[in-house]
Amino acid sequence: MLLGWRKIRAGIGLGLGASSALAELRSGVDDLRERGLDRTGAPGLARWAGEMPPLRAEQRALASQIALGPLHNCRGSAGAGVLTAVLLVVVVGLGCTQAVTGQQSDRVGPVDEQGRRPISVGKVIKKRQIAPVMSVAHADWLVRPERDVQEQPDRVVKKLQIPEGGTVVDLGAGVGYFTWRLAKAVGDEGKVIAVDIQPGMIDRLRETLEERGVTNVEPVLGSEENPNLPEDAVDLVLVVDVYHELQQPEQTMEYVRRSLKPDGRLVVIEYRKEDPNIPIHPLHKMTVDEVRAELEPMGFEFEELKSFLPTQHIIIFKRRI
């Protein structure tokens, strides 16, 4: 497997003439194509490229055109620079394919002073721009009259077949649009843990619960990373119009994963980004592929896609043990 990478390295290495270098490069790429990508090869190659002398300005421009931001400082001899750029297209291209298909989870990397792993190290996630958190000032939008028709919350809750007496989490509960419905579904013996990171939303949630006389909901103030959930205790976590705005999705979803019972489910509902006619800003929409490509490497197993809503998809996962 390493043969392909070695040939590529040799192909663009110093001391080879341009034509033999290209031949070696092609042969290396062919080897990789034939045998499949050796994941360990790409980072090694990037490290190696980093040890080469500086690229010329036009080569740097080429590199930037092909969105090689993190590799701009990569160095190469004048003769090898273009080849390096060409090769990096191959490397980055292969890496991106893996990210989209979720084959490679980059769950290692440096942590910051607070011990958090910056989201930029996640190959899977860095391709998506994370939306800003919806502010309390816009909370009334969550109870706009047309929402019941668009999002059909009662039908959604019914279709999820929530176990009576179960424990359900409403992650990013907002003003409680889904929370009180979940509370009804689990019944008096059950419980809903309604998490939000904004105290103003928690206040609005409490008002909703009081107005509706709901008593089996525990409002919880979470942080951007940690939703403060009990471990191995939850039957279902519902995440409606929230995942796209999680600022630390990997960390948050790891806590979510741990909170689920072994047979627990995660239900993500997002506006369909596949449909450009849905009048929601693209940052606030996600495709099924995007959701799956991010969540599967985080320890969730795709179970089912429900597509009965006019503008959203419902994507259901199981906890991977």
Ligand X SMILES: C[S@@+](CC[C@H](N)C(=O)[O-])C[C@H]1O[C@@H](n2cnc3c(N)ncnc32)[C@H](O)[C@@H]1O
- Applying CB under 6 A, which residues contact ligand X? 133-134, 142, 171-174, 177-178, 195-198, 201, 222, 224, 227, 240-242, 245-246, 252
- Give the Cβ contact number of residue 120 at 10 Å: 10
Smallest gap, in angstroms, from Cβ of residue 72 to ligand X? 32
29 vs 197 by CB, closer to ligand X = 197
User: CB–CB of 82/62 below 8 Å?
Assistant: yes
Residue 254 beta carbon to ligand X: minimum distance, rounded to whole angstroms: 12
CB 138, min distance to ligand X, A: 8
Question: Shortest approach of ligand X to residue 201 CB, angstroms?
Answer: 4
| Residues 160 and 267 sit within 8 Å (Cβ to Cβ) | yes
Q: How far is the CB of 11 from ligand X (least distance, A)?
A: 46
Pair 18, 11: CB distance under 8 Å: no
Output the smallest distance, CB 82 to ligand X, in A.
44
- 149 CB neighbour count, 10 Å cutoff: 8
Q: Rounded to an integer, what distance in angstroms lies between the CA atom of residue 317 and that of residue 299?
A: 10
Q: Which amino acid is at 99?
A: A
**CB neighbour list of residue 85: distance below 8 Å, 6 or more residues apart:** 55, 59, 62, 63, 66, 68
For ligand X, give the closer residue by CB, 90 or 246: 246
Indicate the residue type of 27.
S
Q: Considering beta carbons, is residue 25 or 175 the nearer one to ligand X?
A: 175
Residue by residue, what is the 3-state secondary structure of 262-316? EEEEEEEEEEECCCCCCCCCHHHEECHHHHHHHHHHHCEEEEEEECCCCCEEEEE
The secondary structure of 227-274 as a DSSP string is ----TT-EEEEEEES-GGG-SSHHHHHHHHHHHEEEEEEEEEEEEETT
Structure tokens at 132: 């800003």
- Rounded least distance, CB 152 to ligand X, Å: 12
User: Do residues 12 and 28 touch, judged by C-beta distance below 8 A?
Assistant: no
CB of 220 to ligand X, least distance (A): 9
End-to-end CA distance of the chain: 30
CB nearer to ligand X: give 195 or 234: 195
Half-sphere exposure of 232 toward its Cβ, with a 13 Å CA cutoff? 2
Nearer of residues 12 and 182 to ligand X, judged by Cβ: 182
Contacts of 240 (CB under 8 A, 6+ apart): 151, 170, 172, 177, 178, 269
Closest CB to ligand X among residues 95, 174:
174
What minimum distance in Å lies between the beta carbon of 108 and ligand X? Answer: 23
Minimum CB distance to ligand X smaller for 74 or for 173: 173
